[in-house]
Every structure is written in structure tokens, then in C-alpha cells.
Structure 1
């Protein structure tokens, strides 16, 4: 396990380290200076304070060249290179394209395992850490069915529902665990074996947090936005009113994702969170096939392991004049305006190309949003 970092990745890591994972400070500095090299230039430090950057970030930047700081930072870089199978930023082609829709997408992801899963179609399954036997069984069954149907199951590596979902999806080598710690840490520690099995059996483990980052409470809502952001839909299988999985559902709602919930006994407090979600508009489901129906994909859709990777034009035999349009599609739906901003052709031509791709079974349009589609014949 060894990763070589590019100059750009090193610059992202440096700024991410100086602002200690503050998205607001990271983007404020980058927006002002225009590029990472300018942000990190020693002469730029005098401007940081005028941008209302937190004083601790400024102090860290001022002391960054001190020997002790340099030693600590170098140990961090060494650990990343040693422990990560991959590192990706929004400029890297492997970065999950579905996250780019959101202004709070991570500036960097550290990962182990199969990087190709990041851009695969995903469904998140989340819920209580202290789940009942019934809740665990439901989560396992839904995850197994959906993974068998070709979806990658994404969750947060927590005890309970998360663990059951990961375990089931592992049977089909399709699961992603998003962590709220550095790559060198596993939380909870009891899930170290689960994490190892995910990596061993074709799954993926990712985090936006730098090495040496402990499992602090406020890191997990940040993790949850990535869990929901990666996915086409979020399923909550068992949750009380105080469950952290409701934070994931809230993030999903803000991202415009479909939210599903399984119901429980009306006197069972461990399902009150699910019932609240249903009252607020989440779709009640009692069979995973209902999820497939709602996201408008065939229930018999099976993706072979080789098809998990984003298809290249050669592998799906696309007409030459449609290749550029096909390449801007993702698993996450985009409207015409979003697509027009990514391609330099008239809107009328873009619409014509999308219609051709739909007829070829390579694109699907739902509620005005266009997304990539894999047919059973591919």
C-alpha cells in the first residue's frame, strides 16, 4: 500500500491542514487568492487576517515553517503515502462526480480499497447504533437485495444498522464506508475487522479528515453529508427521534435526494425517527423492490464487476457525435442548465443528443433530470 501525491494534492493537504478541516476558511482563501499556490505563499499571510480567517489558522500558518511543525506535517504526509490506496481531489478524474453538485463537497478524500466504487450508483442505508434484531435483519436483507441488484451500499461504519448494511453488501463486494476520523483510525474500534473485510473484499473506505484526527462528535454530521451526497437515495431502517441517522436524512433532503424509511410498531420508540420522516414526506417501504421502482431502474438490473467502473465510450460503443454529451452525464441527475454549462454546443443540439442517448438506453430522464443509465444489454 503506497500512494504518490501530486503537487496539487500536496497543496490541498497543506491548506486543509492549516485550516484544520474548515470548509469556510478553505474556500474563503481560495476564492480570494484564486489558486492554492498563491494562498500558500508566505507573502499572502498578511492578507489572511483581513479575510476574517480564524486566528488559530493564521497562527498555524505563521508557524508552519518551524522545525517542529514541519516534522509533524511530514509524518502526516508519510502516513498518507503509506496507508492510503488513493487520494483524490475534485480535479482528479476518480473524485465522485455526484459530490461536485454541492458547495460543501470535500476538497480531498483519503481512501483505501476500490476507488472505482466512488462513482458507482449508490444507495445509503443508515439507522440506529443500538438496533433491534428485527432492525438489523431488515437492514441486512435490504442491503443484500440492493447490492445484488447492482447498487453499492454506502454507510458510516457505525455499530448497528451501518454494520448490518456493510456486512450484507460485502457478499456482493459493493460497499463504501465513510469515516468520521483520519484514515489511521477506526471508530468504533470494535469494527476494525469489518473495515478490514470491506477493503479485502472489494469495498472502499474513505474520509475527508487528515491522519491523526480523532472521532470528535461534530465530525459525524460532516461525515453524514458525504454518505447522503454519494447516493441516489437514503434508506433509514430503524431510528429513534434522537438518532444521528436523522441528520443524514436531513442532509439528503437538502441535497434533493429520495428518502425512504421502514416503519415499526407505533409504541416502539426506536422507530419514532422513521415515523417522523414518513410524516415529513419520506417514502414508506417494506420491500427493497419499492426503492428500485421509485428510482426508475429495472428491478432485474445486475451490473457485473467490470461494469462498476464508469463506462468508456469504447466499452459501450457510442456514436462518435454523442461521446462528449455522454461523458458529462453522471449517476446523479442534472438538468439542462447544468449540462449546458459543461459542454460547448447549442442547447437544441444538446437536447437532441440526450434524446438519442435515451433511445440507445444510455441515458434516463426523470422529472427533468438526466442521468447515465446502464441497460442489461451492455
Structure 2
């Protein structure tokens, strides 16, 4: 009998064959048990299983004969890049993921993939508001601090902020629509490294070297929701990929939660519609943790952190929800202009009490 870790590379190689996807492969495994056996089987025997149509059985058999070195090639790449694999045949495959429709037959990952972790998915729009950013950072941190692993897709916007927040509180898992050796988007290279390096995991069903293609992301979304007991939609427009993830969660019998937003904000329409359709309205991390039977872990307050007179004046005009530009801050100061405002804001950001967004607007880092 072949060792499971070697068997994984037979699986990976056979999934390269056009027309052979997760569903066919899982059905073949149910009949023939061993990936190595399937790899060596002739077309007639494959067809006799009644799993594959005759033409597809011949295609798979021909593919295996014509690509004899493919399993070793994939194994070599994984070893060189220190990428780990887990298949649906193994005990350490995430149990909740087995329950979804067409679970991935094999996962590639960097970091630590815990099979029995309690997970919540956090998803949202790439086009985010300051409100969405603040919510993703806060919820990511507090849900992770309470013991949940935060799962998201490492996309720009809400996904990235969810991961960043979770890194401050605990563990997070990023699910990619490309190979785990590819940073997409490229600016998230450090984020992906930090996720794997801090006890979390970066995972994908696509073998190393696979470039991100639009068709891969809806399939990726089923893994995000499939790994989690519930999915929290932070900020999403009426037509958003995040809603696909929510639909997949519902189809798998998982809970869906949504953050309400302004009725005048197009970027909140998707969440508001989910709530209208029965998703649980979430206003604070405790609302999600209650569903998991967990309590909010109170953060340790920073001791000895004192503000200068200038910093205190700036802090008073800032809010958690609405970022302000430097001009708006200056106009809001009761005593007029503060010298070196940009330097003061930088110092406050380094102290962790102020956050700057991509539009160079500033808000308080924590809600009062």
C-alpha cells in the first residue's frame, strides 16, 4: 500500500486531466480506494466502475500513461518550496470541509492547518469604506482573541483587514484562488507570510505555480465558507462575490451573519439584503461569539500610554467610524493649527491609537 503523502501527488497529477474534477475523483476513490491504483488502471477497468463515462475513462487512462513523471514533478516542487499537502483520505483533513458539496480532494498549504479548529469566515468587498475597514479590523481581532480562527480570502479590502485584525488577536487562515507560492494581490506578500508564520495557514486547492484566474475565485469561496461554522459578511454591495460565499455557506447548512450599514451606501446594500432575508444582524463581536458559545476576551489595556497635549487635542476630534483628512482635522481643532500635524499623526499611529487608510485619512484605532 502506498504511503498517503505519496498518494497525494497521484491525486494532484490526475486532477490535471481535463474533465476530472473533485466530484469524479472522490467517486473513484470511493470505489478503488488507492490513488496509485487509479493511476495504473486501464481505460476499460475505469469505465467498468460506472463512475466515469467511457470517453472520460479513456482520457484519464491515456493521460496517466502519457504523464508518468507528473506525480514526482509535483512532489519535487512542493519539497523545494516547503509546501505541505493534505488529502481527503487523511485524518488531518479539516472535518467540516468534508461535509460540503464537492470538497477539494487535495489541499496545498503553508503554515499549520488544524483539522479541528473552530473557525468563522469573514468576507467583504474589495471597495471598502472607513466603516468597513474599522469593523473588519475590530471583529477580526476580537473573534480571534476569543479562540476562533478567522478564515478569509486575502483579497484587497475587507478580506485583508480581517486577516490583519485576526493576526493581532490569534490565528487566521487565508484561502487563495491561485497556488500558495504566488502572492495575489502582490502587496499582500508580507501578510501571507505573517499568516503562515504566526500559527495560521495559507491554503489552496490549486497546485504550486497556478496563476490566479477569474474562474478560480468562485470555487475558492466554497472552501472559505466550507472551513467555517459560520460566515460574517462585513461590507458588500448588492452584487458582490462575498454574497456568493454567503450563499455557499447557506447551501452547506452553515450560519450567515451580516453587519448592517447605511441605507444610502451602495456598498452596504448586500449586507442589508442578507439581513432582510434572515441573516443574523451583528452589531458587535459578542453577537457572533454567542453563536459559538464563547465570550469576548477583554483586551489588556496598554499601561503607561500617555498623550502629549497636541496628541490629546487631535484625538478629541477623531472618531472610530469616520476617518478625517489632515485638512479636516486642522479645521476641527479648537485652538487652530498644530505645528507638524503629519508628524504628530505618525507618532500616534506608531503608538497604535490612530489608523491611516489608503486615502490618507485618520481615525481612532479602537472604539470607545
Question: Number of residue pairs matched?
Answer: 296
Query: What residue is the counterpart of 1:75 in the other structure?
Result: 73
Query: What residue is the counterpart of 1:202 in the other structure?
Result: 199
Query: What residue is the counterpart of 1:240 in the other structure?
Result: 237
CA distance in 1, matches of 2:40, 2:108: 25
Which runs of 5 or more residues in structure 1 are unaligned?
A: 303-378
Change (3 A) 1:290 1:74: same
Matched, 1:183 2:180: yes
Matched, 1:43 2:50: no
Query: What residue is the counterpart of 2:329 in the other structure?
Result: none
Query: What residue is the counterpart of 1:294 in the other structure?
Result: 291
CA distance in 1, matches of 2:20, 2:235: 31
CA distance in 2, matches of 1:290, 1:280: 18
The TM-score, its normalising length taken from structure 2, stands at 0.73
Query: What residue is the counterpart of 2:324 in the other structure?
Result: none
> Equivalences for 1:155-194 in 2 at 5 Å?
155-194=152-191
What is the deviation of 1:197? 1.4
CA distance in 1, matches of 2:105, 2:229: 21
Mapped contact 1:84–1:183 kept (Cα < 8 A): no
Mapped contact 1:112–1:205 kept (Cα < 8 A): yes
> Equivalences for 1:334-345 in 2 at 5 Å?
none
Mapped contact 1:126–1:245 kept (Cα < 8 A): yes
Query: What residue is the counterpart of 1:316 in the other structure?
Result: none
Change (3 A) 1:187 1:5: farther
Change (3 A) 1:210 1:61: farther
Give the counterpart of 1:102 among 92, 100, 103.
100
Change (3 A) 1:36 1:202: closer
Give the counterpart of 2:123 among 116, 121, 126.
126
CA distance in 2, matches of 1:26, 1:181: 20
Matched, 1:211 2:208: yes
Which runs of 5 or more residues in structure 2 are unaligned?
A: 300-368
Change (3 A) 1:45 1:162: farther
Mapped contact 1:45–1:61 kept (Cα < 8 A): no
RMSD of aligned Cα (Å): 2.6
Query: What residue is the counterpart of 2:17 in the other structure?
Result: 18
What is the deviation of 1:63? 4.2
Matched, 1:220 2:217: yes
CA distance in 2, matches of 1:248, 1:273: 12
Mapped contact 1:5–1:81 kept (Cα < 8 A): no
Deviations 1:120-157 (A, max 9, x none): 11111100011111111111101111111111111011
Deviations 1:34-53 (A, max 9, x none): 54344222424674497555
Mapped contact 1:136–1:161 kept (Cα < 8 A): yes
The TM-score, its normalising length taken from structure 1, stands at 0.71
Matched, 1:149 2:137: no
Matched, 1:62 2:59: no
What is the deviation of 1:71? 5.4
CA distance in 1, matches of 2:280, 2:202: 29
The 3-state SS of whatever aligns with 2:15 is: helix
> Equivalences for 1:208-357 in 2 at 5 Å?
208-300=205-297
Mapped contact 1:84–1:111 kept (Cα < 8 A): no
Mark the structure with the bigger radius of gyration: 2
What is the deviation of 1:57? 8.1
The 3-state SS of whatever aligns with 1:171 is: helix
Mapped contact 1:126–1:156 kept (Cα < 8 A): yes
